[in-house]
Structure 1
Amino acid sequence: MGNLPVVTTSFVGRDSELDSIDRALRDHRLVTLSGSGGVGKSRLALQTAGRVGDRYADGVWWADLSHLDDDQLLTTTVCDGVGLLDHSARRPVAALCEWLSDRRLLLVLDCCERLVDSCRQLVTELLAAAPGLTVLATSRQPLGAEGEHAVEVHPLSAGEDGDEAVRLFHDRAAAVVPGLALDSPGDAAAVAEICRRLEGIPLAVELACAQLRESSAQEITGRLASRLDALSDDTLWPRRHRALRTTIGWSHELCAPLERLLWARLSVFRGVITTADAEAVCSGGPLGAEAIAPALESLAGQSVLRRTGDGYRMLDTLREYGAMWLAELAEDALFTDRHARHFAQTAVQAHAGWLGPRQVEWYGKVAATHADLCAALEHLLAEDPERAMEMAGCAGLFWSCCGHLHQARTYLERVLALPLSAGPHRTRALWALGITLTLQGDHEAARRVGKECEEAARLGRDVEGALSAAHSMSFTYLMMGRPQTAHLVSDHALRRHPGDPADAPSQMRCRVIRLFALSALGRLDEAYEEATRLQRLSLRFGEHWARAYADHQLALIHLLQGRPRQAESHARAMLASKHQLHDSLGIALGLDLLAGAIAAQGDGVAAARTSGTGHMYWRIIGHPHRGTPELGAIREQWELRARQAAGDTAYERAYRRASADDAERGLAHALERQLPS
Structure 2
Amino acid sequence: MFGEYSFNNRQADSADGAPGADPESDSGSAAGAAAPGNLPPEPPGFVGRENELAELHCLLRTRRLITLTGVGGVGKSRLALRAVADAEQARPDGVWWVDLSPLRDPALLAMTVAHAVGLADHSAGPLDEELCAWMADKELLLVLDTCEHMVSDCRHLVGELLQSSPGLTVLITSREPLDSPCEYVVELCPLPCEGPDSDAVALLRARALAAAPEAAAAFDDPERAALAAQVCRRLDGIPLALELAGARMRRWSLEQMAERLGARFDVLADGRDSLLPRHRTMRTAIGWSHELCEPVERLLWARLSVFTGDFDMAAARAVCSGGPLSAARVERVLGGLVAKSVVRRTQERGAGARYRMLDTIREYGHDWLAELGEVRTVADRHAHWYAALSRAADRGWMGPRQVDWYRRMTAEHPHLRRALEHLLGTDPAAALEMAGALWFFWFSCGHVHEGRGFLERALRTAPPSGAVYAQGLWALGLTMVLQGEMDTARELGDRCTAAAAGVADPEAEVRAVHLRALSLLLPGDPARALELAGPRARSRHTGPADGAGRLLCRLVTAYALCDLQRFEQAAEEARGLREACADLDERWLRAYADYVLAVAAFGLGRPEEAARHVRAMLSGKRLLGDRIGIALGLDLLAAAVAALGDGELAARLLGTGHAWWRTVGRPQMGSPSLTALRERGERQARAAIGDAAFESAFLGGAAAPTG
Q: TM-score, normalised by structure 2?
A: 0.90
The 8 Å contact of residues 486 and 513 in structure 1, kept in 2 or not, is answered as yes
Question: Contact conserved, 2:208 with 2:250, CA < 8 A, in 1?
Answer: no
| Per-residue Cα deviation, 1:66-100 (whole angstroms, up to 9, x for no partner) | 01223121111111121111111111111111111
With over 3 angstroms needed to count, the CA separation of the structure-2 counterparts of 1:568 and 1:215, relative to structure 1, is farther
Q: Which residue does the alignment assign to 2:48?
A: 13
Of residues 545, 562, 565 in structure 2, which corresponds to 1:522? 565
Match of 1:66 in 2: 101
1:232 to 254, 265, 269: 269
**Identity of paired residues, percent?**
49
Whether 1:549 aligns to 2:592 is: yes
> Residue 385 and residue 131 in structure 1: after superposition, are their counterparts in 2 closer, same or farther (change >3 A)?
same
Equivalence for 2:220? 183
Cα deviation code 1:181-208 (max 9, x no counterpart):
2312244123212211111101111111
1:437 matched to which residue of 2?
A: 480
Given candidates 650, 665, 668, the residue that maps to 1:622 is 665
How far 1:303 moved relative to its partner? 1.9
Contact 2:656 2:701 in 1 (8 A): yes
Call closer, same or farther: CA 1:174–1:161 in 2, change over 3 Å: closer
Query: Please, which of 581, 588, 603 is the counterpart of residue 538 of structure 1?
Result: 581
Contact 1:596 1:607 in 2 (8 A): yes
Residues 297 and 600 of structure 1, relative CA distance in 2, 3 Å threshold: farther
More moved, 523-532 vs 168-177: 168-177
Please name the residue that 2:371 is paired with: 328
Structure 2 residue matching 1:436: 3-state secondary structure: helix
Is 2:96–2:142's contact at 8 Å kept on the other side of the alignment?
Answer: yes
Q: Offset at 1:37?
A: 0.5
In the alignment, the residues of structure 2 paired with residue 419 and residue 342 of structure 1 have an alpha-carbon distance, to the nearest angstrom, of: 20
2:362 aligns with 319
Gaps of 5+ in 2: 1-35
2:240 is the alignment partner of 1:203: yes
Residue 544 of structure 2 corresponds to 500
Preserved CA contact (<8 Å) 1:231 1:242: no
Amino acid at match of 1:24: L
Residue in 2 that maps onto 1:465 = 508
3-state secondary structure, aligned to 1:248: helix
1:354 paired residue among 394, 397, 413: 397
1:212 has 2:249 as partner: yes
Match of 1:417 in 2: 460
Alpha-carbon deviation of 1:591?
2.0
Task: Write the distance in 2 (CA, Å) between the matches of 1:55 and 1:453.
Answer: 49
> Is 1:171 aligned with 2:209?
no
* Corresponding position: 1:278 with 2:316: yes
Give me the whole-angstrom Cα distance separating, in 2, the residues matched to 1:50 and 1:435: 39
In structure 2, relative to structure 1, the CA distance for the partners of 1:216 and 1:197 (3 Å cut) is: same
How far the C-alpha of 1:607 sits from its partner, in A, is 3.1
Q: Residues 320-363 of structure 1: CA distance to partner in whole angstroms, max 9, x if unpaired?
A: 11111111111111000000011111111111222222222222
Report the CA distance shift for 1:192/1:365 in structure 2 as closer, same or farther (over 3 A): same
Cα deviation for residue 216 of structure 1 reads: 2.4
Q: 8 Å contact 1:53–1:59 — kept in the other structure?
A: no
Q: Specify whether residues 633 and 305 from structure 1 end up closer, same or farther in structure 2 by C-alpha distance, changes over 3 A only.
A: same
Counterpart among 266, 277, 288 of residue 304 in structure 2: 266
- 1:452 match: 495
- Identify which of 598, 601, 608 aligns with 1:558: 601
**Which amino acid in structure 2 is aligned with residue 14 of structure 1?**
R
What is the aligned-residue RMSD (CA, Å)?
A: 2.1
Query: Which of residues 51, 56, 64 in structure 2 aligns to 1:29?
Result: 64
1:97 to 2:135 alignment? no
State the AA in 2 paired with 1:642: A
**Letter of the structure 2 residue corresponding to residue 303 of structure 1:** S
Give the Cα separation in 1 of the matches to 2:603 and 2:177.
59
Superposition TM-score, scaled by structure 1 size: 0.93
More displaced stretch, 471-480 vs 27-36: 27-36
SS of the residue corresponding to residue 311 of structure 2 reads coil
Q: Which amino acid aligns with 1:251?
A: S
Question: CA distance change for structure 1 residues 21 and 179 in 2, over 3 Å: closer, same or farther?
Answer: same
Given the alignment, which residue of 404, 414, 419 partners 2:447? 404
Measure the CA separation in 1 of the matches of 2:604 and 2:207. 64
Name the SS of the counterpart of 2:539 in structure 1. Answer: helix
Alignment pair present for 1:377 and 2:420: yes
Distance (Å, rounded) in 2 between the aligned partners of 1:630 and 1:179: 71
8 Å CA contact retained: 2:655, 2:700: yes
- The answer to whether the 8 A contact 2:442-2:448 is kept is yes
3-state SS in 2 of match to 1:247:
helix
Residue deviations 1:520-572, cap 9 Å, x none? 11111111110111111111111112211111111122222233333222212
More deviation, 525-534/348-357: 348-357
Shift of 1:612: 2.7
Kept in 2: contact 1:53–1:60 (CA 8 A) = no
C-alpha distance in 2 between matches for 1:613 and 1:201: 47
- The aligned counterpart of 1:599 is 642
Counterpart for residue 245 of structure 1: 283
Structure 2 CA distance for aligned equivalents of residues 536 and 384 of structure 1: 41
**Cα distance in 2 between the residues matched to 1:146 and 1:94:** 21
Aligned residue identity for 2:250: R
Q: SS of 1:285's equivalent?
A: coil
TM superposition shift of 1:462: 2.2
Q: Displacement, 1:264?
A: 1.2
CA contact (8 A) 1:211 1:302 kept: yes
CA–CA distance in structure 2, aligned partners of residues 57 and 173 of structure 1: 41
Question: Offset at 1:580?
Answer: 2.0
- In 1, the alpha carbon distance for the partners of 2:578 and 2:378 equals 44
The separation in 2 between residues aligned to 1:192 and 1:561, in whole angstroms, is 79
CA distance in 2, matches of 1:499, 1:135: 51
1:270: Cα distance to partner?
2.3
Structure 1 CA distance for aligned equivalents of residues 221 and 638 of structure 2: 66
Residues 496 and 254 of structure 1, relative CA distance in 2, 3 Å threshold: same
CA contact (8 A) 1:458 1:466 kept: yes
Q: What is the aligned partner in structure 2 of residue 343 from structure 1?
A: 386
Q: Which residue of 2 aligns with 1:112?
A: 147
Q: Is the 8 A contact 1:177 1:212 kept in 2?
A: yes
The structural deviation recorded for 1:439 is 0.2
How far is 1:174 from its partner? 4.1
Kindly tell me: are residues 656 and 472 of structure 1, through their superposed partners in 2, closer, same or farther at Cα, counting changes over 3 Å? same
Go from structure 1 to structure 2 and tell me whether the alpha carbon gap of 1:217 and 1:124 turns closer, same or farther (over 3 Å shift).
same
Q: Which amino acid letter does the alignment assign opposite residue 331 of structure 2?
A: A
- Mapping for residues 571-586 of structure 1, pairs under 5 Å: 571-586=614-629
Distance 1:271 1:264 in 2: 15
Tell me, yes or no, if the aligned pair for 1:42 and 1:110 is still in contact at 8 Å.
yes
Whole-Å separation in 2 of the counterparts to 1:191 and 1:565: 71
Pick which of 434-443 and 566-575 moved more.
566-575
The aligned counterpart of 1:667 is: none
**Distance in 2 of aligned mates of 1:627 and 1:169:** 59
Aligned partner of 2:406 among 355, 363, 368: 363
Deviations 1:26-48 (A, max 9, x none): 44322111111111111121122
Q: Which amino acid aligns with 1:205?
A: L
Q: Secondary structure at the match of 2:461?
A: coil
Query: Is 1:157 aligned to 2:192, yes or no?
Result: yes
Partner of 1:135: 170
Corresponding residue of 1:221 = 258
Would the alpha carbon gap of residues 616 and 274 (structure 1) be closer, same or farther in structure 2, given more than 3 Å must change?
same
CA distance in 1, matches of 2:427, 2:537: 33
Q: Tell whether the 8 Å contact from 2:190 to 2:237 is kept in structure 1 after alignment.
A: yes
Q: Classify the secondary structure of the residue corresponding to 2:141.
A: strand
Q: Which digits, 9 at most, give the CA deviation of each residue in 1:254-291, with x for residues without a partner?
A: 33332222221111112220111111111111111112
